[in-house]
Amino acid sequence: MTIRFAALLLALVVLSGCGAAPDRQTAAAQRAIVTADGQRLQAGEAPAAARPAIDEAAARARAAGAVPGAAKPSAVRARFVALTLETEPSARQVWLVTYAGVLFVPEGCACHGDNETANTVVAVDGQTGAVVLLFGAADERAAP
For the stretch 11-38, pLDDT in tens is 333 333 333 333 334 456 887 887 878 7
Residue 118 has pLDDT above 50, yes or no: yes
Over residues 102-112, the pLDDT tens digits come to 888 777 554 44
Residue 10 CB burial class (10 angstroms; 0-12, 13-18, ≥19): exposed
Q: Provide the residue type at 77 as one letter.
A: R
Residue 17 exposure: Cα atoms within 13 Å on the Cβ side: 4
Confidence band, pLDDT 50/70/90 cuts, at residue 73: confident
pTM over 0.85: no
Question: Would you call 60 helix, strand, or coil by DSSP?
Answer: helix
Q: pLDDT > 70: what percent of the chain?
A: 65
Confidence band, pLDDT 50/70/90 cuts, at residue 47: very high
